Structure 1
Amino acid sequence: MKKQFIFFVLNFMVFCCNVQGTQLQGTDTLNQVLGSEDIVQPNGHIRQWQSVLNLWSGKLDSVKRKLSWVRNQADKAFIDSTLIFFTTARTEMLALGKSVKAAQLSEEVNRKKDQVTDTTGVLEITVADSLKLQVPQLLDTLRRMESGINRLVLDVEYLQRTTIHRREELAAIQATPTAQRPSREQVLKTMEKNWVKDGASTSYFAISTWGNRLFILLISLFYFYWIFRLGRKTPEHVDELTLHKNEPLWIPILKALLLFLVLLPITSLTVPIVVLEISYLIIFILLCLILYSELSVMKRRIMLFTFAYYIAMLLANLLLSDEHWTKLLALTVNLVGVYLLWRIGQRTDLKNPIGYLPGYARMAIALAHALAILFLVLGYLDMGRMWSLIAAIGMLQGLSLRAIRDMLLHDLQKQYQLSKEDSWFRRFDPKQMLATVDRIIRFCFAILVLLVLFNGLHLTREVATVFDRIFNSSHRLGSINFSYGDLFLAVVVVAASNWLQKTLKRIIDIPNGSEKHMQKMTLFPLFRLAIIVVGFLIGISILGLGMDKLTVIIGALSVGIGLGLQNIINNFVSGIILVFEKPFKIGDYVELADKKGQVMEVGIRSSTLLTDQGARVIIPNGDLLSGRLVNWTFSDSDIRLNMQLIVDKSVELNEWKAWLRTKIKSFEEVDRAIPIKIWTQGMTADSYQISIQVGIRNVQLIEKFRSNFLEIIQREMETKQIRIASG
C-alpha cells in the first residue's frame, strides 16, 4: 500500500508514452491503426506460433490504446472495422490454441510411452507425422503459450463486448434528434456499455472458476470456527470494541464474511471491476454496522458522507458519456472525493480502526482523483473513468484493510492471552509474534492494492505477459536449462527458509522464560537446521539440478571441509550430539574450566552461558562436549549448596546447631522447601567440623548467599567470643 503512489505515477507515464502515435481522429479506420502488415498464419512450428501470438498481442494493444485514448465518440466505420478485427483475432487465437493443445497432448503421450530420447540436451518430439520440433523444455513452453493464448482470448472477448455496446450507444445517439438528447434509450445504452466495461458478466461466477475461491472459503470457515470458540472463552469486557469481540454469534459470522470478501481478489489475476466495487461496498457497510455505535459524532458523519460519495461515484461513472452534464457530474464527485480525503485525515478516534487513512494513502488516492479530473477535462472519458473508479475503490480499500488488520491482530493477541500456560501457543513471544504477523498481513494487503490497480487500468494481461517474458524465458548455462523465474523462486525459497528459522527463534525465544519453556526449547536448534536443509533441497529441485550435479557440488564442499572447515564441522556435529544426549538443558547451571553460569541458548555451532557477573560467554560446542563439564542441576531442579564450618569446642553443640538452623532460614535466598541438613563430620582436640547442606532458590543466588552467610556468622561469633572458620 505504501508503494501505491509510485505505481500511479509509473502507469500514468506509461500511458502518456503509449498514447503517442495512437492519437488518431475518429474517422481513422482500423487498417490505419494497425498498418498494412499481414498476420502470419500458424503452421505448427513452435517459434512461429510464438511469433504469431506476439504479433496478435501487439495488434490488440494498438486497438486497445486507440479505444481508451479516443477523445470523442468513435464513428461507426472505426467501430465496425474494430469488431471485424476482434472476430478475426478470436478465431485465429482459438485455432492456434487448438494446435498448441494438440502438441501438448502429443508430448505428454510420448513422455508416458518413453519414446523421447535426449542425447544432445534438446528434446525431440513428433507433433505431426511429418513435423519435428527441437525446443528446450518443450512441454513447459507449450503450457505457457496456451496460458498466453487464453489470456489473449479473454481480453479480445471483453473488448468485443464493450465495442458492441459502444456501437449500440452510438446508434441510439444518432437516432435521437439533437434537441431531444439525452433520450431514455440513449442513457440506458450508455449505462449498459459502462456496466459491461466494468466486467459485468456471469463467467466470473461460473462453477469451473470456484477452485481457488473454495480455498478462501475454507480459510474463512476456519477463521469463524476459531473466533467462535475464542468468544466462548472470553470474559465480557465493557470497554472492548465490537470488532474485537466474538460474541454474540452474528459478530464472528460478519467477521468471517469480511475476511472472505477481502481475500476474494487474490484468487485470480483478473477480477471484474464490478466485483471489486460491490465487494468493498459490502465490506465498508459491514464494518460501519459493527463499529457505528462506537464512532464519534464527527466520524459517523464522515462515514455516511463516504458512503454517499461512493454511491455517487458509481452512479456518475455509470452515466458518463459525451453529454456535458455527465462530465460535470463526474468532475464534481471527484472534487468531493478530494475534500473527503482531507476530512478523513483529521484523526479523532485514536482507538477506533476505521475512519482514518495515513498520509501516503491519502496522497495516492488524491493523485488518482487529480488524474481523473485532468483526463475528464481533456475529454479522455475512458481514462478519466478508470482513474475515478480506482480512487473510489482505493478509498474504501484503505479504510477497510486497516480495520481488518486490526481485527486479525487483536484476535491473535486474545488467543495468546486465553491459552493455557503449557499450550504450544505460549511458546511464542507475543510482541515478536504480533510484529511478524503484522508484516505478513501488510505484504498480503499490498498485493491486494496492486491487483485493484492493475484491474482498474485493465492491465492484467499486459502485466502477465511482461512477467512471463522476463521470468519464464528459457536460458542455457552449459548443460543446464533454467529461467530467471526458477532462479528467482529458488533464491526466494532459500531466503524464506533462512528468514523463517531466524524469525521463529525471535518469536519463540522468551526472555526470562519459565523452566518448562526452556526444556521445550532444547530440540529447537535441530528444527531450525531442518528448515534450512529442506529449503536448500527445494531450491535445488526448482533449478532442475539432478543428483549427478548435486553429487559434484557436495564432493567439492567435502574437499573444502576437509581442508579448512574442520573446527566448524566439529562444532556443528558436537551441537547435534548435545541436542540428543542432553548433558545439560537451557536453564541449567554448568561449570566448564574457569567459566560457570546458566545456559541461555544451545545453538548448532555454539552455546551461550550467562555468568554470575551478568556477562554472556559464547562457548563452542566442541569444547562443551570434549571438556570436563560440571552440571549443578542435572538430575532435578533442586539447587543445593554444601559448606563446612570449624567451630570452637566451647559451644554447646546441640544449641548451636539449632541456632544455626534458625539463622539459615532467615536468608531470603534459601529454598525452604528443601530440608536443611547440619551434621558433625569430624572433630579435633579444640574444635568441631560441621557440614551444612542448604537449598538455594536460584543458581545465581549461590555466591550471594555464601558471602552474606559467612559475614553474618563471623560477626555474631565475634560478639560471643567464639572462634569460627570456614572449611
Structure 2
Amino acid sequence: MQKVDKSVFLTKVKSMKKYGLFIMLFLISSMVSAQDTVRPARKHAETSFFADSTGPGRSDYLEGFENIFQTLNKVPVITASFLELTAIRDHLAQSDSTLAILKARLSVSDKALTIRNLQMYNTLLDELDNNISSYTDNLADYSDTLKQIKTQILVLRQDTLIGRISRDTSLRTTFIPQLQQLRTKWKLADSLLRKNTAEVNDLKAHASANAIIVAELLYRTDAGLKALGINAFKKEQTYLWESSASNLDTSTYKNSSRDERRLTRYYFTNTSSNRHWLLLTCLLFFYWIWYNFRSLKRLNKIDAINSFGFRYISRLPIAVSLLFLLNLAPLFDLHAPAVYIEFTQSLSMLLLMIIFWKCFSRKVFMQWCVFICLFLLSSMFRTIDTMLTLQRWISFSLNLASIVYGLYFLFISLKNTELKALKFVIFSVALFVFLSLLAMLCNLFGRTTLSDILSLTAFYALAQSVSLAVFVQTIVEAFLLQIQSSRIRKHYPEYFESKTITRSIFRVATILAIVLWLIVFTTNLNLYDTLNDWMANTFTAARHVGNTTFTFSGIVLFLGIIWAANFLQRFIAYFFGDTGDDAAIDDKGQRSKLLITRLILLIAGFLMAVAASGLPLDKITVLLGALGVGVGLGLQSIVNNFVSGIILIFDRPLRIGDTVEIGDKKGKVKEISIRSSTLLTDNGAEVIIPNGDILSHNIVNWTLSNNHVRAMLTFTIDRTEHTADIPSDIKEIIRANPNVLARKEPEIVMSTINAKSLEMKVYFWSRDISQNDLTSSEIRSAIYSYFEQKGLEVA
C-alpha cells in the first residue's frame, strides 16, 4: 500500500494557502482518489459524491434509453403496416390451383384445346404475371423496410453509453425499470422481425417459383397458338360427306368445361380492372336521363320533347342503361377473355329483345326472336356430348338456316320494317350472311376450328351491330333531352334547330361505336391480342429524326387530347341549353361563363397533350423562339393568316356552305383552309380572301345558327272601306307558302300616305335563305292576285 508523504502535503498547503478553500478541497479530493486503490470498499460512495461533472449524467442515460425505445417501437408499427402479406399469401395460394389447372390443360396429351381456350389461357397468364410482379414489388419494399430497421438496431448495439450500464452494478441498480422495459420491447421486436422476415422470404420464394411457372406456361401457350393458328386453315377432319367414327371424349369435355369455369371465376375474382368504373358510368347515365325527365315533369313540360320522337329513352331507362353498360364493357376491360365478351353479347341480345318488344312492331320483334333461336341452337349443340359427325351436320344446317334468314331479312323484310332507320343494319346483315357462308364451307371441307370461330363471330357481329345502333341513337336522344330540359329550366324558347346538333353527336357516337365493334369483332376472331401486340410495338417504338426522338403513340396521344379538348369546348354549351341560336343572347352571364370554360378547356387540353405525349419541352421552346424571330423578320402576314385560319376552324364564325357578307363581298363559303378561304358568289365567281382579312372585317353570317331570313314586301294601295280585312287575308296567303316559317307570325304594317292611298309593308320569315327570292316572288304574285280580286289598284 502506498503511503502519502504528510510533510509534502503540509508544504503545499502553506504555499498555496492564499488560493483559498477551493484549492484545499481539490487537493483533498486528489488525495482521496489516490487512496482509492488502498480502500476499495469505499469506492462507489466516494465516486458518486466526487464524480467528474464532465462525464455522462442520469439525463444522458435516459436520453439513450429513449432513443432505443423509439427505434424498438418502430418495429410493431412497421410490421403492422405490412397489410398486403395476408392478401398476397391467399392470392398466391389461389394462383397455385389455377396454375395446376393450366398445367394440366396445356399438357401434350390434352387434345381438347382450341384457339379460344388458348386465348383465354394467354390472357389469364398475362394477368397472373402482372399480379406476381406486383406482389414481388410489394415484398421487395417490405424486405427493404425490414433491412433498414435491422440496421438501425445494429447501430444501437454499438452505443457505448448503454454498454457502460451493463458493466456497472450501481448503474444497473439505478435503471432497473428502464432495463426491464427494454428487455420486454427487445423480445417483442426480435420476435416480430424474425416472424416477418421469414414470412416475407417465404412469399418471395413462392412468387419467384410461380413466376417461373407462368413464364413456362406462357411459352407453351404461345407455341400452341402458333400451331393451332396454322392448323386452323388445314384440314382437321374428314370431308363432311365422308363417314367418320370419331366421337367426343365425354370425360375430357366435362373436365374441360369444369376447368374453364374455374379459370373464368378466378379471372373475375382476382384480376384488377376498371369494371367498377363501368358500373359507375352506367349509374350516372341512368341518373342523367332520369333527372332530365323528372325536371320536365316537374315543370309540366313533358310535351316539349314530343317533336323529337324519342324511341328508346323513357322516364325509367333501365333497359337502355344496361345496354349502355354492356356495349361499353369491352372498352373498360380490353384484355378480358373471350368468354366475357360472349357473355356480355348474349345479355345484349336478350335486352334487345325487350327493347324491340317495347319500341318496334310485332313483326320486327318476331324476326329478332328467330335470330335469338338460331343463336341459342348453335350454342347449345356445341355443348352437347354427341358424335362429331352429327354435330358437324347440325352446325352445317344451322349455318344454312342463318344464310337463308339473313337473305330474307336483307332483301324482303328490311324494306318494310322500322329497322331500316338503324345504321349499320344492312352492313351487319350482309356480314352475317358472308361469315355464315364461310363457316358452312369450312365445316364442309373439314376446317372445324375455323368453322366454329366464323359461326360464332357471325352471330355476335350482327347482334353487336344492332346493339350499337341502338346505343348510338340512345346517346343522341339523351343529348337532345339534356338540351331541351336545360332550355326549359332557363326559360329559353322550346324550339331549336336540332338537325345540326343531332348530326354532330351522331358522328362522334358512331366513331365510338366503330371502335367498340372492332374490339369485339377481332376478339371473337381471336385476332385482338395479335393486333394489339403489333400496334403496341409499332406505336411505342422510338423513332429518330436528327437529335429528336419521338413515338407514334405520343403523336396520336397529342392529337387525340387536342381533339378531345376541342370537342368538349364545342359541345359543353349543349349541357346548358345554348345551341348557338338567339335564345340565350341576352344571358350575358351564361355566355361569359361558357367562354371562360372553353378557354380553360383549350389551354388545359394543350398543356395535357404536351405533357402526355412526351415531347421535349426544350425543343418546343427553341422552336417558338425561332418562330418569334421569323415573325419579327417579315412573316407577320403569313403568321396572321395562319393564326386566323386556326381561329376560324376552332371558333367557327363561318362554316362551309354558310351565306355570308365580308366587307363588300357576299356569297357562300366554299372552302376554309389554313391561309385563305373561298367565297362563291351568286354570279359563279370564286373570291379568295386571306383569313386575316376575314377576321379584320365585320362578318355577316346569314346561316350561322339557322337558314332563316326575314323578307319585306312593300305595296301602295287605294284606301277602301274594307281595308281592315286586308291584313288577315294577306297573312293567310303568306302562311300558305311552304317555304314560310310558320312558327313566326307574319307582320303587316299599314301607314297613310294621303287621303286616297295607303302604304303596306309585309314582313315574313323564309325557311331557307337560298329560296328567299323565289318565295318573295311567289308571295308578291299571290298578293297582287288578291288585290285584283278585290278590285284594288296597286302602285
What TM-score results when the alignment is normalised by the length of structure 1? Answer: 0.52
Shift of 1:433: 2.2
Secondary structure of residue in 2 paired with 1:481:
strand
Are residues 425 and 324 of structure 1, via their aligned partners in 2, closer, same or farther at CA, if it must alter by over 3 Å?
farther
Alignment counterpart, residue 213 of structure 1, candidates 275, 284, 288: 275
Q: How far, CA to CA, are the matches of 1:373 and 1:501 in structure 2?
A: 50
- Matches of 1:367 and 1:564, distance apart in 2: 61
Q: C-alpha distance in 1, partners of 2:493/2:213?
A: 45
Give the SS at the match of 1:440. Answer: helix
CA distance in 2 between counterparts of 1:593 and 1:316 reads: 74
- Counterpart of 1:228? 290
Among 301, 309, 314, the residue aligned to 1:246: 314
Deviations along 1:423-463, whole A, 9 cap, x unmatched? 89999963222222212222222222222222223333322
Tell whether the 8 Å contact from 2:554 to 2:612 is kept in structure 1 after alignment. yes
Match of 1:366 in 2: 433
Which of 540, 546, 554 in structure 1 is aligned with 2:624?
554
Match among 234, 248, 253 for residue 190 of structure 1:
253
1:96-124: per-residue Cα shift (whole Å, max 9, x none)? 98699779989xx9xxxxxxxxxxxxxxx
Task: Give the whole-Å Cα distance in 2 for the aligned partners of 1:549 and 1:329.
Answer: 65
Shift of 1:483: 2.3
Query: Which residue type is aligned with residue 324 of structure 1?
Result: T
Letter of the structure 2 residue corresponding to residue 378 of structure 1: F
1:314 to 2:383 alignment: no
User: For 1:274-313, what aligned pairs fall within 5 Å after superposition?
Assistant: 274-292=339-357, 295-313=360-378
CA distance in 2 between partners of 1:515 and 1:94 (Å): 56
SS at match of 2:487: coil
**What is the one-letter code of the residue matched to 2:283?**
L
Provide the rounded CA distance (Å) in 1 between the counterparts of 2:632 and 2:351. Answer: 65
State whether residues 573 and 579 of structure 2, in contact with CA within 8 Å, keep that contact through their aligned partners in structure 1: no
1:415 aligns with 2:482: yes
Q: Which residue of 1 aligns with 2:267?
A: 204
Give the aligned partner of residue 53 of structure 1.
none
Does the 8 A contact of 2:492 with 2:583 survive in 1? no
What CA distance in whole angstroms lies between the structure 2 residues aligned with 1:334 and 1:206? 36
Equivalent residues of 2:562, 2:609 under 8 A apart: yes
* Partner-residue secondary structure (3-state), 1:201: helix
Give the CA deviation at 1:329: 1.3
1:330 is aligned to 2:398: no
Structure 1 CA distance, aligned partners of 2:624 and 2:213?
43
The question of whether the paired residues in 1 share the 8 Å contact of 2:645 and 2:691 is answered with: yes
Q: How does 1:259-278 map to 2 (within 5 A)?
A: 259-278=324-343
1:566 paired with 2:633, answer: no
Distance change in 2, residues 1:287/1:527 (3 Å) = same
Amino acid paired to 2:441: L
Map 1:22-61 to 2 at 5 A: none
Aligned to 1:46: none
Residues 319 and 664 of structure 1: CA distance in aligned 2, closer, same or farther (over 3 Å): farther
Question: In the TM superposition, what is the alpha-carbon distance from 1:553 to its structure 2 partner?
Answer: 1.0
Alignment of 1:387 with 2:454, yes or no, is yes
Query: Which stretch of structure 1 is more off in the superposition, 400-409 or 530-539?
Result: 530-539
* Percentage of pairs with the same residue: 24
**In structure 2, what is the equivalent of residue 435 of structure 1?**
503
C-alpha spacing 1:664/1:411, structure 2 compared with 1 (3 Å)? farther
Partner of 2:518: 450
What CA distance in whole angstroms lies between the structure 1 residues aligned with 2:615 and 2:424?
Answer: 48
- What displacement does 1:620 show? 9.3
Give the Å deviation of 1:332. 1.4
Once residues 554 and 111 of structure 2 are traced to their aligned partners in structure 1, the CA distance between those partners, rounded to angstroms, is 47
Name the CA distance, whole Å, in 2 between partners of 1:512 and 1:617: 28
Which of these two proteins has the greater Rg computed from alpha carbons? 2
Structure 1 Cα separation of the partners of residues 644 and 430 of structure 2: 56
Matches within 5 A, 1:75-224: 186-187=249-250, 189-190=252-253, 193=256, 201-206=264-269, 208-210=271-273, 212-224=274-286
Using the TM superposition, give the Cα deviation of residue 90 of structure 1 relative to its aligned residue in structure 2, in angstroms.
7.8
Structure holding more helix per residue: 2
Structure 2 partner of 1:24: none
Residue 221 of structure 1 deviates from its aligned partner by 0.7
Structure 1 residues 320 and 562, CA gap change in structure 2 (3 angstroms): farther
Q: Could you say if the C-alpha distance between residues 625 and 487 of structure 1 is closer, same or farther in structure 2, counting changes exceeding 3 Å?
A: closer
1:513 alignment partner in structure 2: 582
- Cα deviations across residues 578-618 of structure 1 (Å, max 9, x unaligned)? xxxxxxxxxxxxx999999xxxxxxx999999xxxxx9999
Contact 2:487 2:578 in 1 (8 A): no
Query: 1:351-386, CA deviations, whole angstroms, 9 ceiling, x for partnerless residues?
Result: 458999633222222222223223322323222222
**Displacement of 1:543 after TM fit?**
4.5
Q: Deviations over 1:63-91 (max 9, x none)?
A: x9xx99xxxx9966999xx99xx99x989
TM-superposed CA distance for 1:260, in Å, is: 0.9
Provide the C-alpha distance between the structure 2 equivalents of 1:663 and 1:557, rounded to a whole number of angstroms. Answer: 73
Q: Distance in 2 between matches of 1:208 and 1:622?
A: 56
Task: State the alpha-carbon separation in 1 of the partners of residues 566 and 310 from structure 2.
Answer: 39
CA–CA distance in structure 2, aligned partners of residues 663 and 511 of structure 1: 47
Distance 1:402 1:435 in 2: 14
Is the Cα contact below 8 Å between 1:368 and 1:390 reproduced in 2? yes
Determine if contact 1:191/1:318 at 8 Å carries over to the other structure. Answer: no
Segment drifting more, 317-326 vs 300-309: 317-326
Query: Mind listing any 5+ residue stretches in structure 1 that lack a counterpart?
Result: 1-63, 110-147, 163-177, 577-590, 597-603, 610-614, 629-657, 671-727
CA distance in 2, matches of 1:90, 1:240: 50
Q: Which amino acid aligns with 1:205?
A: F
- Residue 150 of structure 2 corresponds to none
Question: What amino acid is aligned across from residue 471 of structure 2 in structure 1?
Answer: I
Structure 2 length-normalised TM: 0.48
Query: For 1:401 and 1:256, how far apart are their aligned partners in 2?
Result: 13
- The code of the aligned residue for 1:219 comes to T
CA distance in 2, matches of 1:444, 1:624: 35
Match of 2:183 in 1: none
Q: SS at 2:414's partner residue?
A: coil
Q: Give distance in 2, aligned partners of 1:551 and 1:469.
A: 30
Aligned in 2, Cα 1:553/1:230: closer, same or farther, shift over 3 Å?
A: same
Name 1:490's counterpart in structure 2.
Answer: 558
Q: How many Å apart are 1:280 and its aligned residue?
A: 2.1
* Partners of 2:753 and 2:759 within 8 A in 1: no
1:228-271 Cα distance to aligned partner (Å, 9 max, x none): 12333234999998953423x4xx12221111111111112223
Distance 1:310 1:156, change over 3 A: farther
The 3-state SS of whatever aligns with 2:585 is helix
Deviations 1:399-422 (A, max 9, x none): 222222222222322333343264
SS at structure 2 position matched to 1:379 = coil
The total of aligned residue pairs comes to 495
State the one-letter code of the partner of 2:458: A
TM-aligned CA deviation for residue 216 of structure 1: 1.6
8 Å Cα contact 1:90/1:153 also seen in 2: no
